[in-house]
């Protein structure tokens, strides 16, 4: 990696809120451009270059066009980093993965769903399911969350530039809740994905603010073996019940697919 590596940001299917979080870093973003050369960032600049070493990708892969763009980004970059829930675990876009795709189109587009059958409409051909970047290409690192946490993003890229290991932690959000001295969500009579959701970057901010963990950072590795299973047993809740209750972010992660060939497109 060069002394001042060239980096680029790319968006796929998503709200682009993660890139907005990076822009909102303001002064710290100015510090960042002192150590990296940003050559492409559609939300922040008009210039673009395909000459970069590190690529950040946000959003899910939902069309053949997305897949072709992702493969091009992968071929250009030495290091590819997925940012946000949609890029790391397919996020809210994957809610459709367990549903009838025709009904999904009707629900979203109403009468205009018929345009998908009209070749003259020239719409992008969509995959029946939404996928994270890792389903199709190698991804070196991830910054999870919906949206990502700006501090975690800065820590990750700082470690990377200093030759450290920016791999994700593998402890549950419950650990962060204890550090924040939060009252357990289960003690408030609610269920929560904190016991099996990857912590270490969000500081349990949702629970701290009085909400509950929705799992936007994805599952910890081997959640069935997690010591926090004791919490679920105490409140007579199984891991399966928890996962079934919360489908907002985990539809792909519950049944991960890594297609060897591009999925069949749906008109």
184/264 Cα distance (integer angstroms): 44
Distances in Å between the Cα of 208 and the Cα atoms of 9, 179, 188, 194 are 31, 11, 13, 12
The confidence score (pLDDT) of residue 223 equals: 67
**Mean of the per-residue pLDDT values for the chain?**
90
Residues 182 and 200 in one domain: yes
Residues 142 and 43 in one domain: yes
Residues 151 and 179 in one domain: no
Residue 75 lies in domain: 6-99+127-167
Kindly write down the DSSP assignment for every residue of 188-248, as one continuous string.
GT---SGGGBB-SSSTTHHHHTT-----TT-BPSSGGG-TTHHHHHHTT--HHHHHHH--T
Residues 29 and 89 in one domain: yes
Confidence of residue 252 (pLDDT cuts 50, 70, 90): very high
pLDDT digits (tens, 9 = 90+) for 175-216: 999 999 999 998 888 888 888 899 998 999 999 999 999 999
Region 96-118: what's the mean pLDDT? 89
Q: 182 by DSSP, 3-state: which?
A: coil
The confidence score (pLDDT) of residue 231 equals: 74
Residues 161 and 218 in one domain: no
Residues 137 and 21 in one domain: yes
Range of weakest confidence among 50-54, 113-117, 140-144: 113-117
Percent of the chain with pLDDT over 70: 96
The confidence score (pLDDT) of residue 225 equals: 54
pLDDT at residue 241 greater than cutoff 80: no
pLDDT digits (tens, 9 = 90+) for 39-51: 999 988 999 999 9
Confidence of residue 261 (pLDDT cuts 50, 70, 90): confident
Residues 245 and 143 in one domain: no
The confidence score (pLDDT) of residue 227 equals: 58
pLDDT digits (tens, 9 = 90+) for 135-167: 999 999 999 999 999 999 999 999 999 999 898
């Amino acid at each position: 990696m060069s002394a001042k590596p060239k980096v680029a940001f790319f968006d796929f299917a998503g709200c682009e809120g993660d890139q907005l979080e990076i822009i909102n870093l303001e002064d710290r973003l100015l510090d960042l451009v002192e150590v990296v050369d940003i050559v492409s960032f559609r939300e922040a600049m008009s210039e673009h270059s395909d000459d970069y070493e590190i690529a950040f990708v946000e959003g899910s892969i939902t069309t053949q066009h997305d897949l072709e763009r992702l493969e091009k980004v992968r071929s250009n970059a030495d290091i590819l980093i997925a940012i946000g829930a949609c890029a790391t675990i397919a996020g809210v876009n994957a809610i459709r993965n367990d549903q009838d795709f025709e009904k999904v189109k009707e629900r979203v587009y109403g009468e205009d769903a018929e345009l998908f059958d009209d070749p003259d409409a020239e719409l992008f051909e969509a995959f029946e399911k939404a996928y994270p970047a890792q389903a199709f290409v190698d991804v070196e690192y991830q910054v999870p969350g919906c949206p990502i946490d700006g501090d975690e993003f800065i820590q990750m890229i700082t470690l990377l530039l200093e030759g450290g290991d920016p791999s994700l932690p593998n402890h549950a959000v419950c650990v962060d809740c204890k550090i924040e001295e939060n009252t357990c969500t289960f003690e408030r009579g609610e269920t929560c994905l904190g016991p099996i959701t990857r912590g270490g970057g969000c500081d349990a901010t949702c629970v701290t603010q009085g909400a509950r963990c929705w799992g936007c950072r994805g599952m910890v590795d081997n959640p069935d073996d997690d010591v926090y299973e004791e919490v679920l047993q105490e409140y007579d809740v199984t891991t399966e019940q928890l996962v079934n209750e919360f489908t907002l972010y985990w539809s792909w992660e519950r049944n991960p697919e890594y297609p060897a060939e591009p999925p069949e497109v749906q008109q």
